[in-house]
Amino acid sequence: MMRILNRSAGGGPRGGRINGRALSGAMAAVVALALSLAVLVPAQAVEEDGYQLWLRYRPVQQAAQLQQQARTITYDGKASPTVQAAIDELRRGLQGMAGKAPASGTAAADGAIVLAKAGALPQGFKTDGLAELGPEGYLLKSASVNGKRVTVIAANEDIGLLYGAFGLLRALGTGKTLAALDERAAPKLQLRVLNHWDNLDRTVERGYSGQSIWNWWELPDIRERQYVDYARANASLGINGTVLNNVNSKAEILTAPWIAKVAALADVLRPYGIKVYLSARWSTPLELKETKTADPLAPEVAAWWRAKADEIYRAIPDFGGFLVKANSEGQPGPQDYHRSHADGANMLAAALAPHKGIVMWRAFVYAAEKPDDRAKQAYDEFKPLDGKFAPNVMVQVKNGAIDFQPREPFHPLFGAMPKTPLMMEFQITKEYLGFAMHMAYLGPLFEEVLKADTMQRPNGFTVAQVLEDADHGRRPTGMAGVANIGSSRTWSGSHFDQANWYAYGRFAWDPQGDSRAFAREWAMQTFSREPQAVTQIVDMMMRSREAVVDYMTPLGLHHLMDTGHHHGPGPWVDNLGRPDWNPTYYHKADKQGIGFDRTASGSNALAQYAPGVAKRWADPRTTPEELLLWFHHLPWNYAMPSGRTLWTELVARYDRGVTEAEGLRARWEKLKPLVDERRYGEVAQRLDTQVKEARWWRDASVAYFQSVSALPLPPGVRKPERTLEQYKAIKFPYAAGHH
């Protein structure tokens, strides 16, 4: 009946058929009755628009049994706002999954869900090393207490109980039962943060999901319900921090009226364990005309930042700290005054230290004055500063040395700064992966980077281990993700882009996690628990990012996107104001060959990696094919492992990407009977667009590289649909997310 009601909401009955199957007369009558009653069951008949994310809480198969196992929720003591949030979420979730919300209980009776902190655990309950799980960890356990069958959520602090409540609901949503519950979990990183590139006018840089969800104009007086739902979704993943504004920051955000707006958001997010942070513009005191300089070593500047930090903490006692983009892409910074990044970061750190605040200082720096190789600049500037940053400074490093490309080798700074806490910066919004138009599940990208071995220690040292290496807790650890969240009803611009937010949160909790497992969790909670649907959806997700790599940037090519907005191909662009803004700078294609030589005979960027990595990647025969043209300029007739020439292989990869995009669409079509009508149709439209744009990428790229190489197309290969000049003429002056 549940299925029927959900299907009907999308567009009514289908003439005696449902999910493609003919119905008997009696069954058709039952269906007709169900449809007529749908208006009486509004919660079940609501059209699926994606707003509920993975917190849909649809009925489970054994709903009656679950009702018996979750009759009451008990908590011994006065519930804090955080514990109350946990209780409310359990009620909401169990109402949806079991069909009945648990009552409030006072004692551990049969079928009780017991929330308990260390020191108030049910008598006889084994703690199972609860103390080791820290302030945010939790235990979930089905247990017998005084002869009663109960489910215990145990934690050391209130926030652990909230994370445990979400952990229990995730377990139920992915097919587990309360009777079999036995989990222990704790985050491996301390700071698990979203970076919103949201502007004060509600536009979002590199955002493809509508306006910013922060309605600055109406704050602090009006606090929208969506802020609570945002907090719930993030808490369900263990995300515990949010940077509210763009790294290309404005000075106004640190003025009193805006601090009041930020404080209002902090009040909403606090019960869910989420601290707010702000991107701080380096030159703020100078721009506000409250100092005569922004030199970090000038006493008046340090005094201004100390006073500003005190002002913020009076309004927001648990304020997280500052994120800073300095001396990059024209942003002001300490180098304007011939000071180092450490000089700048440490001055801010001193202002925040009395309040236990953190400075997240971005290592994304590049400037036209360094024409050698943009990939080298961050390492060159930051490696010499290892050990010179204050204890509450984290250097925030992008996953690769260029800029969130569909594929990059891991950043050489990981493992190379043992005395400095490094914080990973991933992009969740898809600036270079087709915006919210193309399906590209980023879990495999995150996992590929996190599992990469830096070889900075004799027995191996993965990027994930670098991030977790907290010097026995004496230094902060963390991960940041550039958010893809906006005012779109789907939150992320498309249904499948929600999975990237989800996977990011799960990897921030456990950097050694598994992208396929996270895809499976998301699919079961978001779309369906039917095995056939789950298998197909997860398979699509796991293939999608590689498809995008193939039709955009195969074999280690990178930054081939058209200029500025980064939508669509532009490998021919060579007329921009800075060399490293031009795609031609990155592929170096000429009549002789293609690729960027980063070996000793070229820019020698390889020397920034540990010797074991550098040696492997220095030889094209031992460089992974996926990174070949990232590190090597090779002749068009270079012999590939497949037996094909480089030119033939390159075209084959472009073709493979198009074939995979077509395969995603075909797989989705088979899922039509298993997915609600609205979401099926919305995803189908995007997959149609993806196929069209994959062909465009392939044709324009092949046409351009053929014009450079002067080689004929390999036998049997389809010619591009248009001429190269026609592809060059395509322009997007008003592309989304480009500011």
Cα 157 from Cα 137, distance rounded (Å): 8
Cα 601 from Cα 157, distance rounded (Å): 56
Instruction: Report how far apart, in Å, the C-alpha atoms of 267 and of each of 448, 571, 692 are.
Output: 37, 47, 45
Q: Smallest Cα–Cα separation from 164: which of 127, 137, 145?
A: 137
3-class SS of residue 17: strand
3-class SS of residue 95: helix
Cα 211 from Cα 198, distance rounded (Å): 8
3-class SS of residue 26: helix
Residue 183 phi/psi, 5° resolution?
A: -130, 150
Token pair in block for residue 57: 């809480």
Cα 568 from Cα 570, distance rounded (Å): 7
Does residue 688 have an active-site annotation? no
Beta bridge partners of 114: 74, 152
Q: How many CA atoms lie within 13 A of 50 on its CB side?
A: 23
CA 691 to chain centre: 24
Cα 425 from Cα 651, distance rounded (Å): 32
Q: Smallest Cα–Cα separation from 519: which of 445, 465, 435, 452?
A: 445
Q: Smallest Cα–Cα separation from 410: which of 571, 230, 610, 641?
A: 610
Cα 425 from Cα 423, distance rounded (Å): 7
3-class SS of residue 668: helix
Is residue 567 within 8 A of residue 732, CB to CB? The reply is yes
Q: Which of 403, 408, 425, 580 is catalytic?
A: 403
Instruction: Identify residue 465 by its one-letter amino acid code.
Output: Q
Strands of 471-617, DSSP E = 478-482, 593-594
Is residue 572 within 8 A of residue 704, CB to CB? The reply is yes
Give me the count of residues in the chain. 739
Instruction: Identify residue 337 by its one-letter amino acid code.
Output: Y
Gyration radius of the chain's alpha carbons: 27
Residue owning tokens 């991933």: 426
Q: Which of 201, 218, 300, 329 is catalytic?
A: 329
Is residue 241 within 8 A of residue 321, CB to CB? The reply is no
Instruction: Identify residue 4 by its one-letter amino acid code.
Output: I
Is residue 113 within 8 A of residue 102, CB to CB? The reply is yes
Instruction: Identify residue 21 by its one-letter amino acid code.
Output: R
Residue owning tokens 């519950």: 181
Cα 215 from Cα 213, distance rounded (Å): 6
Q: Which of 373, 431, 521, 655 is catalytic?
A: 431
Does residue 431 have an active-site annotation? yes
Does residue 48 have an active-site annotation? no
Cα 131 from Cα 222, distance rounded (Å): 40
Is residue 594 within 8 A of residue 705, CB to CB? The reply is yes
520 DSSP assignment: H
Cα end-to-end distance, the chain, whole Å = 48
Q: Where are the alpha helices (DSSP H) in 222-367?
A: 225-237, 256-269, 284-287, 299-315, 341-352
Q: Does residue 611 have a cis bond before it (omega within 30 degrees)?
A: no
Q: Smallest Cα–Cα separation from 188: which of 243, 134, 118, 117?
A: 134
Cα 155 from Cα 137, distance rounded (Å): 6
- The residues annotated as belonging to the active site are 329, 403, 431
